[in-house]
Structure 1
């Protein structure tokens, strides 16, 4: 009967892996771990069993003659046996010595997780895994992204250099373009001073601007539909090209209009606010980021902006194309065309075939022209303006004042004279009046038939006076002489004070 030898359990596939990390955070080679365990096995076994009794070494030497009967080391295995087993004593010692890599010889100590004392523990729970130590993070560099690589990598070639500059300094370049637009506006203002007849070209600009606005919103839509953060490059390019064309058209028109409205406005009365509105529109046309991302994003805002610009342009274009036109007719015509342009941006042409669409358009026209008539006093009567205006006690033979006063005492007042020169580059289509006011109350109105005198060419000189019974009983206060059209639009004002 053969002697039965207990079969040693080999390592199976369900045995949990033992992961060993070196001090630099790298996973150790399993073969190196096995050799280190086998090399340290006698030392660990000696620690566990304690000192050996005398004579034991001789007995071990005698029994070692037969290789089969010789005691085996924990890491040894026979030809018909599986993977070597390590004694529990080795696993109980969590630190073993391993040869480190180059540069790591100072601290070759690594940590090995302990193994269960009984194999039955693993059989009871085959899903159990050995704890894995997290490698130290101090020596691990942070993850790098493609964006960091793109920033550190130097651009190659002209195209990549331009793209890199646009990507890194895009916003700064837009603000630089804003400065360029302001410089262009200053040039247009100086160009406008050279002649009123150049205003005819505004008709071409407003027509092209209307076509571009219509095409723009039909291509890109309004509001949330203009989301170009995920749009393809060609769509963004068309968007930028069209907005750039619109900005240049608006800048040319608005900066051309400003000097004419500035000269026609009187900043002591309400028509100064229309000039402020045009100035704000001109400034907005130079702010690329605001114009692109706010104004042209919403169709309603863009159509209001276009309507105001169109109305202001037509007030100047109509007298240039049709001289000697009455300012009220110019005002009403400009309002009607501006309302028509605004409505057609929102109302399709097919809607005009229905009675409802026609009624809506007529209602908008009536409302727009009525609003323009009601606010006519707040709109300067371009292109007319005052070139000279003063008040004094005496006049020269040529009709000019011998003395211009801004303040005088009531005791010296026997007669007050006002002389104003009105420049009419668009022809004389209105009758003008002198209106004398004391503290805002009308005292006297002098019609043109009794106050017009000979003046310079293309200028209407008005002269009126207050004396005798025309003078009020109390003269102290703030006086003003207004030059108005027959429809009540203010051309200019001269003011003075009378003191006690």
Structure 2
């Protein structure tokens, strides 16, 4: 068989072999352009994620399927970090055994696709439940960052998956965000606080399955640490509940005006008005509850951040469309502060203090 002939072009450049086998050519091409191809794949994955967002926007009924995706992602993480190769080292991209590297590549590729589907699916639900000028906007920003990160193959493989604690934190956040939506999908009419605590418990248990062996679990001290971490998880989530959107609830419409129609809607919505015309203001909000009615809601009127008036659901709820909780509250003259000028807003909150939505208006001379 004739050996390959080396040929070099004039000037600097790689040596090209004539009669080179096709497999070798493909391998050389991948070595030379592999990084660029991965970035192109990331762009493709981002486009797929956009399609998932559009699919999720069609309705809440598909959310229950996230539970299956979560279970598969957890199993793959356990396989990645708890199953070791023949040398006793965990599966990594830098493993000495080529088969181990291939397994690592296959597992991480599957994980990326699962995370992309989960996180992009969550985005429209959390976005609708978020108030952009409130604390819960940070949560949806972190969720969006994680969704984009799951499409960046080089960062995901070479940074995130190489560090067990970082991969565990990423998985814990994704699992918490998913379970917070899955619980009301599987158990309608669940109070959002119970969904939060249930999601926190699932995240803590998942973290332990990735870091603690079955032998260690049998020790009393390990059980004590587990109970302490579970209680800490509940406490942190309860304290941070105001910064977490109350999915799947969201405000579909909200406004403030001086008069109401017979069907419960406002005859006129105002955004700016003069103090002299304020005699009585009415706020009407429609809250969509696709996961059922598990929370009691309230209106809280605020002027420049200070609470002026609040009403409970028992006195504020009126008839509205199916699947919607319509609240109406009235701010009368006796409830008005002496100085009316400034920014006003009416918050829709759960009894546990989670912000569902907000409508704003301004009083100016």
Q: 1:225: how far off?
A: 6.9
2: distance between equivalents of 1:488 and 1:307?
24
Further displaced range: 445-454 or 316-325: 445-454
Shift in alpha-carbon separation, 1:155–1:436, aligned structure 2, 3 A = farther
RMSD: 1.8
2:223 paired with 1:358: yes
Query: How does 1:277-296 map onto structure 2 within 5 Å?
Result: 277-296=142-161
Asked whether the equivalents of residues 155 and 164 of structure 1 are also in contact (C-alpha less than 8 Å), the reply is: no
Q: Unpaired runs of 5+ in structure 1?
A: 1-143
2:41 paired with 1:211: no
The residue matched to 1:169 in structure 2 has which SS? helix
Q: Unpaired runs of 5+ in structure 2?
A: 1-7
Q: Give the match for residue 499 of structure 1.
A: 364
Kindly provide the CA deviation profile for residues 239-289 of structure 1, in whole angstroms up to 9, marking residues without a partner as x: 111110000010000000000000000011100000000011001100100
* Greater share of residues in strand: 2
Q: Give the match for residue 288 of structure 2.
A: 423
Corresponding residue to 2:53 among 177, 182, 189: 189
1: distance between equivalents of 2:257 and 2:233?
43
2: distance between equivalents of 1:251 and 1:386?
27
The residue matched to 1:481 in structure 2 has which SS? strand
Q: Give the match for residue 167 of structure 2.
A: 302
Query: How does 1:342-381 map onto structure 2 within 5 Å?
Result: 342-381=207-246
Q: 1:154: how far off?
A: 4.4
Query: How does 1:118-157 map onto structure 2 within 5 Å?
Result: 151-154=15-18, 156-157=20-21
Using the size of structure 2 for normalisation, the TM-score is 0.93
The residue matched to 1:312 in structure 2 has which SS? helix
2:39 paired with 1:175: yes
The residue matched to 1:437 in structure 2 has which SS? strand
Shift in alpha-carbon separation, 1:176–1:353, aligned structure 2, 3 A = same
Which of the pair has more CA radius of gyration?
1
Asked whether the equivalents of residues 453 and 461 of structure 1 are also in contact (C-alpha less than 8 Å), the reply is: yes
2: distance between equivalents of 1:231 and 1:178?
27
The residue matched to 1:323 in structure 2 has which SS? coil
Q: Give the match for residue 63 of structure 2.
A: 199
Using the size of structure 1 for normalisation, the TM-score is 0.68
Q: Give the match for residue 5 of structure 2.
A: none
Q: 1:214: how far off?
A: 1.1
Kindly provide the CA deviation profile for residues 449-469 of structure 1, in whole angstroms up to 9, marking residues without a partner as x: 111111111000001111121
Asked whether the equivalents of residues 311 and 335 of structure 1 are also in contact (C-alpha less than 8 Å), the reply is: yes
2: distance between equivalents of 1:271 and 1:383?
14
Q: Give the match for residue 324 of structure 2.
A: 459
1: distance between equivalents of 2:153 and 2:242?
33
2: distance between equivalents of 1:157 and 1:329?
62
Asked whether the equivalents of residues 286 and 325 of structure 2 are also in contact (C-alpha less than 8 Å), the reply is: yes
Q: 1:195: how far off?
A: 1.7
